[in-house]
Amino acid sequence: MPDDPIPTVFAMSNPLHPVSQQIRGHGVAAIILDDIRWQRCHIKAISLLPNILLRQEALDQNAAEAILIRDGFATEGAASNLFVVSGGILATPSTGPFLLPGITRDLILELAETNNIPHCEKNISRDDLRNADEIWLTSSTKEILPVTRLDDAPIASGQPGPLFQHMLALYQNYKQQLRNQ
């Protein structure tokens, strides 16, 4: 490394389109793929080629997102964080070098804490995903998306679940409160 490196500044802007009510009402499909990314996924960098390739593989299989598995446990989506609801408990993988913690992920955990929704950070296995009552994907641009199909099989009833509906209302209310300040 040089003694005095000069950083490169990169800025990009794209129009942000809200997720449609139809998608929120029906949910999205996801597939499980092996996490082929490097060992420092918690570092936000513009070198996201593995993420792009994984997401493209999901799109090629008519899914909105790829849920990534490393060493038997889910890490995150190719472009999102992951939540699973089982037995009334909201769970998300723990932060560490294999996932990029997101602002929306942190807000969901904060809203769960504030509203007495049982939640935890823990390892989530492939079986945990397949047997979940609900699966959500979160990101700043998509907010909260319910996954209703995983690897072409329905999650629970195949419809967005009640905790998703409750959290979405809490999330939208939170945004409205910020706008009113």
**Residue 43 pLDDT:** 54
Query: 44, 122, 142, 175: which is the annotated catalytic residue?
Result: 44
**Residue 36 pLDDT:** 72
- Residue 171, SS3? helix
The CATH number, out of the four listed (1.20.1250.20, 3.40.50.2300, 3.20.10.10, 3.40.50.1820), of the domain defined by the range 21-180: 3.20.10.10
**What confidence category does residue 100 fall into, taking pLDDT thresholds of 50, 70 and 90?**
confident
For the chain, the structural domain boundaries read 21-180
pLDDT: which is higher, 140 or 46: 140
Nearest to 84 by CA among 130, 132, 131, 24: 132
Please indicate whether residue 44 is annotated as part of the active site.
yes
**What confidence category does residue 110 fall into, taking pLDDT thresholds of 50, 70 and 90?**
very high
73 with 123: CB under 8 angstroms? yes
